[in-house]
């Protein structure tokens, strides 16, 4: 069964059937005839034939840093909803936080396997920039600022500054920051810079301590806190680069009989479900992850449909979610 057979059975031309299958204009009468024959025969158009004809795969490669991340899941929800409405499908590639794998997948996706790429970048190295500048398909960067391509990111520096101000307003004078690798500019560097800026404004920067880098897990926050306590360090507040790291901090403090928030105040980033369920519930920064995914998908679709690349930067805001850990 092919288009020619459908056309003969419906009493229309092959061109009319082709327009129908590609959402082109067809009169209502002919639509009904074609639809009836397709339903009767169970005809399914050949995807490969359509790809050869249109030079499109209707696939968008999405490179993610890890699967077990609530923030990544929210971004993917946003991406998926927009792509589905546009008739596209996601092809996921998980890097397990290894930026070398990001490079590998960018090379794979550049080989005509997808119509566009969305990269949830954990780092943007020189190798990244070289590959991105030579990609034959549109690319959107999500989560990092990158002016040479379309990108959508959050105001991490001012979010960290606002969060640190909350700690200081609650009386903290010897805060500690648990960061992550600064190869991740958004999470590693910008959040640390915002923390330091808030302390500098109050003349407290010399009393601040930067711990880490932590890994993106609770165990790392737990171990760093144990090290801080064992070293006899005097601290009255902890801001963590992620909620997951902060969960480990809370556990270590509880085991050491250090009260939160009476003795030490704790806050994180991400507004995860875990943050609301902790004891005490944790103050955090809410980011618009799902909206960032939607925006990334809209930008890549716009480029694919126009048939050309362009550079556009979108910075999303944040909210401070105050809970009992401060």
pLDDT tens for residues 140-191? 999 999 999 999 999 999 999 999 999 999 999 999 999 999 999 999 999 9
Q: What is the dihedral of CA 243, 245, 246, 250, to 10 degrees?
A: 140
pLDDT at 136 over 70: yes
pLDDT for 62 equals 97
Q: Structure tokens of 224?
A: 């760093």
The 3-state DSSP class for residue 238 equals strand
Per-residue buried b or exposed e for 148-172, using 16+ beta carbons within 10 Å of the residue's own CB: ebbbbbbbbbbbbbbbbbbbbeeeb
Q: Structure tokens of 238?
A: 């902890």
Quickly state the pLDDT bin for 56 (edges 50, 70, 90): low
**CA 100 from chain center: how many Å?**
18
The Cα–Cα gap between 80 and 90 comes to: 7
CB 140 within 8 A of CB 118: yes
CB 181 within 8 A of CB 241: no
The CATH code for residues 3-53 is: 1.10.260.40
pLDDT for 14 equals 85
pLDDT for 42 equals 79
Q: What is the dihedral of CA 252, 258, 263, 264, to 10 degrees?
A: 0
pLDDT for 25 equals 85
pLDDT for 46 equals 55
Q: Give me the percent of the chain exceeding a pLDDT of 90.
A: 70
Tell me whether domains 3-53 and 156-287 share a fold. Answer: no
The CATH architecture assigned to 156-287 reads: 3-Layer(aba) Sandwich (3.40)
The Cα–Cα gap between 207 and 192 comes to: 15
The answer to which of 41-55, 150-164, 227-241, 312-326 has the lowest mean pLDDT is 41-55
Quickly state the pLDDT bin for 55 (edges 50, 70, 90): low
pLDDT for 112 equals 66
Which span out of 17-31, 39-53, 174-188 was modeled with the highest average pLDDT?
174-188
pLDDT for 54 equals 47
- State the sign of the Cα–Cα–Cα–Cα dihedral 116, 117, 118, 124: negative
The CATH architecture assigned to 56-153+289-315 reads: 3-Layer(aba) Sandwich (3.40)
Q: What is the dihedral of CA 135, 303, 98, 288, to 10 degrees?
A: 160
Q: Structure tokens of 266?
A: 């704790």
H or E stretch at 37 = helix 28-41
Give 237-270 pLDDT, tens digit per residue: 999 999 999 999 999 999 999 999 999 999 999 9
Parse the chain into domains and list their residue ranges.
3-53, 56-153+289-315, 156-287
């Amino acid at each position: 069964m092919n288009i020619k057979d459908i056309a003969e059975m419906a009493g229309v031309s092959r061109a009319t059937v082709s327009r129908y299958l590609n959402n082109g204009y067809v009169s209502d009468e002919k639509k009904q005839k074609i639809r009836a024959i397709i339903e009767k025969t169970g005809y399914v158009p050949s995807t490969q034939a359509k790809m050869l004809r249109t030079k499109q795969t209707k696939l968008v490669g999405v490179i993610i840093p890890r699967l077990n991340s609530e923030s990544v899941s929210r971004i993917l929800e946003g991406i998926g909803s927009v792509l589905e409405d546009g008739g596209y499908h996601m092809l996921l590639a998980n890097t397990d936080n290894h930026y070398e794998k990001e490079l590998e997948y960018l090379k794979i996706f550049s080989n005509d396997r997808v119509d566009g790429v969305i990269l949830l970048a954990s780092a943007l190295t020189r190798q990244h920039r070289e590959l991105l500048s030579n990609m034959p398909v549109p690319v959107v960067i999500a989560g990092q600022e990158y002016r040479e391509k379309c990108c959508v990111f959050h105001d991490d520096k001012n979010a960290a500054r606002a969060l640190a101000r909350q700690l200081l307003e609650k009386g903290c004078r010897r805060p500690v920051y648990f960061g992550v690798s600064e190869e991740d500019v958004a999470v590693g560097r910008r959040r640390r810079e915002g923390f330091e800026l808030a302390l500098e404004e109050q003349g407290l920067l010399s009393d601040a301590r930067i711990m880490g880098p932590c890994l993106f897990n609770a165990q790392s926050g737990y171990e760093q806190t144990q090290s801080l306590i064992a070293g006899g360090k005097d601290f009255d507040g902890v801001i963590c680069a992620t909620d997951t790291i902060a969960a480990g901090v809370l556990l270590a403090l509880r085991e050491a009989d250090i009260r939160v928030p009476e003795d030490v105040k704790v806050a994180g980033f991400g507004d995860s479900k875990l943050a609301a369920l902790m004891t005490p519930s944790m103050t955090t920064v809410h980011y618009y992850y799902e909206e960032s995914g939607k925006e990334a998908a809209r930008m890549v679709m716009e480029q694919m449909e126009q048939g050309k690349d362009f550079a556009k930067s979108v910075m999303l805001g944040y909210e401070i979610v105050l809970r009992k850990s401060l």
